[in-house]
Structure 1
């Protein structure tokens, strides 16, 4: 059984290779039980004391005759204080024909790459073909991967970064100077939202940052950060505009309608219905067509992560390392 570290994962999961692999995975499908959530209380003293504690996620998926995969992930929002990623985990890949374990794969690198590429895959169907201005809200470890993945499907020439901590936004901007685009750190979130063609948001916010009244016609909104019913990155107006206009989409209906506050809360308040979700990644990838209806509609994609994405990415890693 191979042990595959983060460097090997990043080397194997080139954005331009992983995006089509995810497209293929959603076309084929597989068995993907709803992931399990477990809250971990903070310790009484020492590192993490007085904090919010963490969440343990267990995410299985399999395709008969191919592979079985299980990812175990911990999410600790205060980890940046200790110089650690908020999301840490490991992935175990099995041969589905025999049940034999094949590889243990770094879960942080795998999650970063597959999450970014899933958003870019959705944007390839939903963002305007002429989108040139990308606004990235958040400057955590996932944010630069989201920017690069989005740039793999659209020719962005202007990239803006907004983060509550301006220094972290500057540090992120310095990592993206190789891109063929102007990179700017911005302070006025409203002003940037009013002119962006595509907005990607990856935060742990519990209060909305993306406001529907600030979005210009034709904007595509990519919400990545919220993974519990209590978390919100966009307000009700943004969700309602997308549902009534260009389209409201999710990675998986089961996950998003149970776990994502940006979908769960409007559902609970009667602002949208389950039928308001026009499609998921299965629908988009099997439709073989551009899902955006017109240039002026607001489209919104909400992801909470699917174990099928992890499985597809892990298979690509294993193939690359073996070759």
Structure 2
């Protein structure tokens, strides 16, 4: 039974029981190649049909907040309404609890019925990593061998796995983190879970590992630039994931100035600390931005233009890739039932 038949069969009943998918369920229904391919195929088809209002942020108390990120589509190939619900409780670190928790709710856009409730944190981790990896397919040198992962938090393993799926030439992964033990642990964990010929190690000197990298992926909340542009070797690709406000910066102005910069969507131009700061300081202008991920996929903008060019990709996330990821999870679940 294919996806369309499954959806029609479910639609024949007046009431559909929502499918509850926890973190493990979501992970089991996704693979990095499948999600990368789904985003690459679907974004050009549905990008103009998806409505994504600005996320709403409601303060719960001086430290905590509730965020709502809705989206919906008028395309027959994406008959859904989706809402990601996120709570931010930074004080949870003192309680040994996660500071960010999220749920994703998927509705039928023709009836309004609830179709599924999913772990929103897992949705975010997968889509963030796969957006970066998809951009890398257009921006990374075909002979790239060394990936440096800066940061060893929850997103790091997803970014590593997604890049390995998108860049088959990679042979070595080096993990760096301010807390060396976390970098060591992640490198060991990845090595134990990787069945291919890729080697994993941790790096102690950040400047040294950046200088050896063909691809640098950053997933931190740093407010002090970590990647120094002068150390990026010719032909390197820099992937920036962590910053989402003006005070956060994962690289310096020289990295932005040296690179040909692409973004996941236009929101990065007003949210990213690296880019907003570079605009304000006259390092680059908005007109210097090479394009968006959608531009790359559609071929409206050329990605890497030479083997020596430094490329930069900055992502801040969007409800569009959230709903596409939720679509793949839900439809894969229907097929497997």
TM-score by length of 2: 0.87
Instruction: Give the corresponding residue for 2:72.
Output: 62
Q: Does 1:89 align with 2:102?
A: yes
User: Would the alpha carbon gap of residues 82 and 70 (structure 1) be closer, same or farther in structure 2, given more than 3 Å must change?
Assistant: same
Q: Does 1:308 align with 2:320?
A: yes
Measure, in 1, the Cα distance between the counterparts of 2:201 and 2:145.
14
2:237 pairs with one of 220, 223, 235:
220
Q: Compare 288-297 and 88-97 and name the one that shifted more.
A: 288-297
1:286 pairs with one of 298, 321, 326:
298
Measure, in 2, the Cα distance between the counterparts of 1:71 and 1:6.
15
Q: Deviations over 1:233-276 (max 9, x none)?
A: 1111111111xxxx2000001x1012111111111222221111
Does the 8 Å CA contact 2:291/2:301 hold for their aligned counterparts? no
Q: Deviations over 1:30-75 (max 9, x none)?
A: 2222323445555xxxxxxxxxx35543222221141111112234
User: Would the alpha carbon gap of residues 86 and 170 (structure 1) be closer, same or farther in structure 2, given more than 3 Å must change?
Assistant: farther
Q: How many residues align?
A: 308
Alignment of 1:101-250 (within 5 A): 101-154=114-167, 155-177=169-191, 178-179=193-194, 180-242=197-259, 247-250=260-263
For structure 1, the residue ranges without an aligned partner over 5 or more in a row are 43-52
Does the 8 Å CA contact 2:152/2:175 hold for their aligned counterparts? yes
Measure, in 2, the Cα distance between the counterparts of 1:169 and 1:268.
34
Cα RMSD for the two superposed structures: 1.8
Measure, in 2, the Cα distance between the counterparts of 1:230 and 1:39.
20
User: Would the alpha carbon gap of residues 213 and 57 (structure 1) be closer, same or farther in structure 2, given more than 3 Å must change?
Assistant: farther
Measure, in 2, the Cα distance between the counterparts of 1:164 and 1:188.
10
Measure, in 1, the Cα distance between the counterparts of 2:21 and 2:70.
19
Does the 8 Å CA contact 2:290/2:301 hold for their aligned counterparts? no
Instruction: Give the corresponding residue for 1:45.
Output: none
Does the 8 Å CA contact 1:125/1:289 hold for their aligned counterparts? no
CA positional deviation for 1:143: 0.1
TM-score by length of 1: 0.90
Q: Secondary structure at the match of 1:91?
A: strand
Does the 8 Å CA contact 2:248/2:273 hold for their aligned counterparts? yes
Does the 8 Å CA contact 2:132/2:239 hold for their aligned counterparts? yes
Bigger-Rg structure (1/2): 2
Measure, in 1, the Cα distance between the counterparts of 2:199 and 2:317.
30
Measure, in 2, the Cα distance between the counterparts of 1:196 and 1:277.
23
Q: Does 1:33 align with 2:46?
A: no
For structure 2, the residue ranges without an aligned partner over 5 or more in a row are 1-17
